[in-house]
Structure 1
Amino acid sequence: MTVLVTGATGTLGRVLVPRLPAVRAMSRRPGPDRVAADLSTGVGLAEACRGADTIVHLASARRGDAAALGRLVGAAGPGTHLILVSIVGVDRIPLAYYREKVRSERLLEASGLPWTVVRATQFPELLDGLFTRLARTGLLPVLGGTSFQPVAPADVAERLVALVASGPAGRVPDLGGPDVLPMDDLARTWLRVTGRRRTVVPVRVPGALARAFRDGHHLAPQHADGHVGFEEALMCLHPAGRQS
């Protein structure tokens, strides 16, 4: 079985590719260990998809995500199993990027190809980057009354390896990290691991978007199947810690 992985140089792709046999890594940029193809234009896609039995679609775009998937579907051979990684809550949280992901899911379902969709919660890397930006203010503001359920890329990669082996399954159960934790607790863990000193300030933000996150539409507590906790993931991202 030949498996094509789009977005192979991204956060999840770098973890997944070494776990798959007969893998063909795809990126926009050429390299000795990957094929080059551009999902935004379609250049190189036919060659990248040729002979692939399964495509694991990790590449993502805040604009044009569904159009890119449409090009990938068009380039895939008949009977190719296409696996899409999506996000928990895309159909319940009013973000433009999430609405685009819903369009991608629906496009794949109607494509006529054998398909699988798995939704995952947020990566620790997302919160790490968010906390880094927010801490620049001298404080660390967080969403009050809001929890997150970070799932490590390694756990998502493990699930994807199993989905490649098992074949098309349609919409499969969501995948979340092992713990659902308040954002202020996650922020304090981040401060401790990175060696920073900030005052964590929970802020109750008005509006439908903040309410959707407070209501937990981005969580999958019934599918807390990940093994790597947030602190363990942070220790890998910041092995020596740092002072700020």
Structure 2
Amino acid sequence: MKIDLKRRLGLAIGALVAMSLPAMAGICEKRDFDGQGYVVCTLTAAQEPDLKLWLNGPDGKVLGDFSSVRRTLGEGEVLGFAMNAGMYHPDYTPVGLYVSDGSKTHDLVTAGGGGNFGMLPNGVFCTGGKRPYQVIESRAFAKAKPQCRIATQSGPMLVIDGALHPRFLVDSDSRYIRNGVGVSRDGQTAWFAISDRAVTFHEFGRLFRDGLGARDALYFDGSISRLYAPELNRADFGRRLGPIIGYTGKN
């Protein structure tokens, strides 16, 4: 009941936001795939410069939610969509690589370990390099050292060069609301997706590979997954977040 109440309140807040801000039509949409519902927000190469990654505000304190992100925007700037963008420690600092506006504040982690982040292969979502969007396996990233305007590391990889992560099970009973990002084969399109209901890794990976045609995709998180999408009258809230990724535009 608590989760349902929070989501209903989030929808109400989203409706108020949509009335007060112009919607960026066509970015986020509801999709059904293989019996599951999702929201997918799609960005093209031309929109990459307006994709942003946030952690701390101007005062150095963790933003932690979408309302705080919106308060950092400049005059006439609006938030088209946003979601949590990778795993974080109890103090909200990123578990792995974090690059925002070309400035790196947390290093790449290539070692395996416990939890979803350590379920190798994990990976990095990188933008603004030779290709507008990339999802790169972490150890390959360490060797290639690509330039990234923004980068966030998480894990596990959902899709690796067109194949699902080898540890995903068709009959898994591990189900959570999950979110992540996938990239087209040519790197010109990025899809940010969140499930409506609890899904398995296998189901979520298939959304990117089979439903969206992503060559590579990266898991951001589960259970804490949140979305801000004013054009869908949606503004989730709940547990405080670490890294947040989102697209901004002008009013």
Same fold (TM over 0.5): no
Structure with a larger share of its residues in strand: 2
- Is the radius of gyration larger for structure 1 or structure 2? 1
Q: TM-score, normalised by structure 1?
A: 0.23
Structure having greater relative contact order (Cα 8 Å, sep ≥ 6): 2
TM-score by length of 2: 0.23
Higher share in helix = 1
